[in-house]
Chain A
Amino acid sequence: MSQSNGNHDLFENLRLELRRGCLSLAVLSQLRTERYGYTLRKALAEQGIEIDEGTLYPLLRRLESQGLLTSVWREEEKRNKRFYRLSPEGKVILKQLVVEWQSINASLNGIL
């Protein structure tokens, strides 16, 4: 029982690790156009990438603090929303990451 739980926890940890980098890439790719958090989550969900708010917002903050995103508070539909978009530096990094991703994907497809 405990072995089974241990395996499950281990799988969860590895799955989260695997997703972490992918999520950054997915988020950056969706922010080529300006979006606020909620619409960004919906856009990702429509593409099959579910991300909860507790993961997305800290990630957005981290990407912004790294200079990859810019954000601005603006009122829309009578509510203040924080809109994010790729910074010029973010665009460059995204291009590099996409190339890297395609390379890894091709390699893994060969291995798996």
Chain B
Amino acid sequence: MDLLDRYLQAIEFWLPKRQRQDIIAELSEDLRSQIEEKETELGRKLEDAEVEAILKRCGSPLTVASRYRPQQYLIGPTLFPLYRFVLTVLLIGCVVPRFLIWLGFLLVDPAHRGYLHMENMWVTILYFAFFTTLAFAIVERSGVKLDDLGHWSPRKLPPLRNPNRIPRCNSLFEIGAIAVFNVWFVSMFWPRPVIDLYGAQITLAPVWQIFFWSFLLLATFNLALSGTNLFRPHWTRLRASLRLVADGLGAGVFCWLLRTQVLVRITVPDLEPAKATVLTNLINTWMANAFWYAIAISVMILAFDVYRVVRLNTASRSTLSRLAHA
């Protein structure tokens, strides 16, 4: 039934959110009945090719989903889901980078508030929306048939999504990044009276020892967690909770570091001591200013971690409930 589930999933993607569950349940029941009837007739399980034939007769996911949508005028029901998808992706692609650039300016130098005129963004959004709508309206008017554009096949549908699966490439990337970070961090910031950072002599407050060991411990713990995720690539409640705790501690320590004025002195060859003092104060000020942004980013990361734990708990409860009723 993998092919059938993938087919239903592909249809579900294009359906109106409020009716998704209902429509899919009904369609699923019909298709399963068809398959069962055919199996009874043949006296054996259907092969993938036979299931594929049933699904192909039913129609491509986009065509099936489009029949459940109300009639549109400028852009018809077949093209409309695709239009919305493209528009959303374009608008996100337009808004997010600008917001990040704006945030970056704010973090680097709060005096540049408003340097990047955000009002320009609305004009850009309007342009994007207008030209996307225009392009789709032209396609609609020209009568291009979506089904004819590609040789659709149920076998080519994306595999079933599992939000609790951890892609191995993610774990490998994390392991690589943490390992490189650990080596660099230990070699550069090992607690000592004066740290040599690419020619600059940096003196840190004694409290740096606490930060150093905290970061090192957390990074090593995350390395072990990513290693476990590599070999057991599914989130469990335990590992999701551990990731939440580790991220929480990491965020806490990092935010505390920003408020600590940990930088005591910087000495750079060819830089006058007075200017070096100004630079030291400037960096400490930047770090202090970044505190609230760090809090905001930490909250987003932790909210995602909490969501993962809640999702796993909910899934676990519903499984137990199903078993209890079985």
Binding site for B on A (CB under 8 A): 36-38, 41, 52-55, 57-58, 61, 73, 79-82
Task: Say whether B304 faces chain A, with CB atoms less than 8 Å apart.
Answer: no
Contacts A52-B57, A54-B59, A57-B23; A81 near B29 (Cβ below 8 A): yes
| Chain A residues with CB below 8 A from B59, complex form | 52, 54
| Chain B residues with CB below 8 A from A53, complex form | 27, 30-31, 58
| Chain A residues with CB below 8 A from B67, complex form | 54-55, 58
Besides the contacts A38-B33, A80-B25, what 11 more A-B pairs have beta carbons closer than 8 Å? A38-B30, A53-B27, A53-B30, A53-B58, A54-B64, A55-B67, A57-B26, A58-B68, A73-B25, A80-B29, A82-B29
Name the residue of chain B whose CB is nearest to the CB of A39: B33
Task: Say whether B214 faces chain A, with CB atoms less than 8 Å apart.
Answer: no
| Chain A residues with CB below 8 A from B19, complex form | 61
Would you call A54 and B30 a contact (CB within 8 A)?
no
Name the residue of chain A whose CB is nearest to the CB of B68: A58
Q: How far is the CA of A54 from the CA of B23 in the complex (A)?
A: 11
Tell me the smallest distance from the CB of B49 to a CB of chain A, in Å: 20
Name the residue of chain A whose CB is nearest to the CB of B32: A79
| Chain B residues with CB below 8 A from A80, complex form | 25, 29
Task: Say whether B34 faces chain A, with CB atoms less than 8 Å apart.
Answer: yes
Name the residue of chain B whose CB is nearest to the CB of A79: B29
Tell me the smallest distance from the CB of A15 to a CB of chain B, in Å: 17
Binding site for A on B (CB under 8 A): 19, 23, 25-27, 29-34, 57-59, 63-64, 67-68
Q: How far is the CA of A58 from the CA of B63 in the complex (A)?
A: 12
Name the residue of chain B whose CB is nearest to the CB of A81: B29
Q: How far is the CA of A41 from the CA of B31 in the complex (A)?
A: 12
Would you call B58 and A52 a contact (CB within 8 A)?
yes
Would you call B58 and A38 a contact (CB within 8 A)?
no
Name the residue of chain B whose CB is nearest to the CB of A59: B67
| Chain B residues with CB below 8 A from A73, complex form | 25
Would you call B27 and A57 a contact (CB within 8 A)?
yes
Q: How far is the CA of A79 from the CA of B29 in the complex (A)?
A: 8
Q: How far is the CA of A36 from the CA of B33 in the complex (A)?
A: 11
Which residue, A36, A53, A82, has most C-beta atoms of chain B within 10 A? A53
Complex A-B, nearest 3 residue pairs according to Cβ-Cβ distance, in ascending order: A38-B33, A58-B67, A54-B64
Would you call B26 and A82 a contact (CB within 8 A)?
yes
Contacts A54-B59, A55-B67, A57-B23; A36 near B31 (Cβ below 8 A): no
| Chain A residues with CB below 8 A from B64, complex form | 54
| Chain B residues with CB below 8 A from A41, complex form | 30
Residue in B30, B33, B57, B63 whose CB lies within 8 Å of A57:
B30
Q: How far is the CA of A81 from the CA of B31 in the complex (A)?
A: 12
Name the residue of chain B whose CB is nearest to the CB of A57: B26
Q: How far is the CA of A77 from the CA of B245 in the complex (A)?
A: 47
| Chain A residues with CB below 8 A from B29, complex form | 36-38, 79-82
Q: How far is the CA of A58 from the CA of B23 in the complex (A)?
A: 9
Would you call B58 and A54 a contact (CB within 8 A)?
yes
| Chain A residues with CB below 8 A from B33, complex form | 38
Subset of 12 A-B contacts with CB under 8 Å? A36-B29, A38-B33, A41-B30, A52-B57, A52-B58, A53-B27, A54-B64, A55-B67, A57-B68, A73-B25, A79-B29, A80-B29
Which residue, B30, B32, B59, B67, has most C-beta atoms of chain A within 10 A? B30
| Chain B residues with CB below 8 A from A55, complex form | 67
| Chain B residues with CB below 8 A from A81, complex form | 29
| Chain B residues with CB below 8 A from A61, complex form | 19, 23, 68
| Chain B residues with CB below 8 A from A57, complex form | 23, 26-27, 30, 68
| Chain B residues with CB below 8 A from A52, complex form | 57-59
Would you call A37 and B26 a contact (CB within 8 A)?
yes
